[in-house]
Amino acid sequence: AQCWLSRPDLFSVAVVSGYAVDALHLALACDLRVFCEDAYLAMTGIHQGLVPALGVSRTLVDLIGYSRALDLCVTGRVLSGRQAYELGLAERLVAPGDRDDTVEDLVTGLLAAPRGLAVEIKALLLHSRERTRKDQLRAERDAWLRTAREAAPPG
C-alpha cells in the first residue's frame, strides 16, 4: 500500500515552529519542510522504544548521510531549527514572523506550476532511487514525451 505522503499527485509541506520535538518525524515524511529559527526538533523514538516510520530512515540517510542519521535516531538529541536547516533537513529557514509569508510563497509557487507537469516531476524524483540509470533515463524520456504532447498546441 502506498502512503498518501508519497503519492506523486499530492504535495505536502511541513511547517515547524516552536518546541516541536516529536514533529521532526512527520516533517521528514513530507515533500518540503520550512523550519522557523525558534523550532526545536528531535527524533525521540529511541526514548519511546520505537524505530523511525513513514520512510523517515531512508529520508534521513538520503538527506544527511548514514552517520548523522544514526546519531539523530539513536541519541534523540534536540536540534534548533537553524541546526536542522544547516544539516539539510529543511528547504527553508525563516524567522517566526516571516513564517506565514514564506509558506504562502512556497505554496503559491507549487500551485502555479502546471499540475500534470509537477506530478510527472515528483514521480520521476520519487522513483529515481529505485531505478537503474538506464531505467531512469527511459522514465524521463517517456515523461518528456507525455508532457510535450500535452504542451503542444492543437492542430
Query: What does pLDDT average to in each consecutive run of 10 residues of the chain (155 residues)?
Result: 75 93 87 96 91 88 95 94 96 96 96 93 90 93 89 70
What grid cell was written down for 4? 498518501
103-107 contact pairs (CB < 8 A, 24+): 103/13, 103/15, 103/34, 106/13, 106/32, 106/34, 107/13
- Quote the crossing angle between the two packed helices 56-64 and 66-75, to the nearest 10°: 130
Q: What is the DSSP letter of 19?
A: B
Q: Report the pLDDT value the prediction gives residue 147, as an integer from 0 to 100.
A: 87
What grid cell was written down for 101? 509569508
Q: Report pTM.
A: 0.85
